[in-house]
Amino acid sequence: MEAPFDITALMVLTVMAGISAQVLGKYLKVPSIVFLLLLGILVGHDGLGLVIPEQLGDGLEAIVSLFVALILFEGGLNLDLRSLSKMSDSLRNLVTIGTVIALVGGAIAAHFLGQFPWNLAFLYSALVVVTGPTVIGPLLKQVRVDRQVATLLEGEGVPMPSPS
């Protein structure tokens, strides 16, 4: 196979896996992020080995950066700043105290349940504790919550400068 065909096939397979995850999530009424993760594992290195990100070379970083920018832009568009300003104390506590508690709790769980050494347990916990619009948005669409709670969670998931 020629390199351009490989890259095209890689992109088509990736898009098809993403669409499949979205359809499965909608059909089974489960947040699609669960299926995105599972299909990513299935077609990636640890699964069938069909999608090899290294084949994209430096293009992978450009593609990921573009999509992260789009996700953050969409998160900013949907953020209700008026409601968010009314709950800035709650948001501050969620972002600071809540993150520290989740980080330490996750590291303890990874160390004792997963038998990770402490340095890897904290690395794992730091990766898991991060929330963002890609996680929060689909979950809020799936699980109906009060608008005030949704605004708080959306605010926590979108990085922004602190209000003065």
| Spans of all domains in the chain | 1-57, 81-164
For residue 131, what pLDDT band results from cuts at 50, 70 and 90?
low
| pLDDT surpassing 90 at residue 111 | yes
Answer whether residue 125 shows pLDDT above 60. yes
From residue 91, how far is each of 61, 64, 75, 94 by CA, in Å?
Answer: 31, 28, 16, 5
User: CB neighbours of 63 closer than 8 A, spacing ≥ 6?
Assistant: 56
Contact of 122 with 107, CB cutoff 8 Å: yes
Cα distance between residue 138 and residue 78, in whole Å: 13
pTM: 0.48
What mean pLDDT comes out for the span 42-65? 78
Instruction: Return d(Cα 34, Cα 142) in angstroms, integer.
Output: 12
More confident residue, 88 or 20: 20
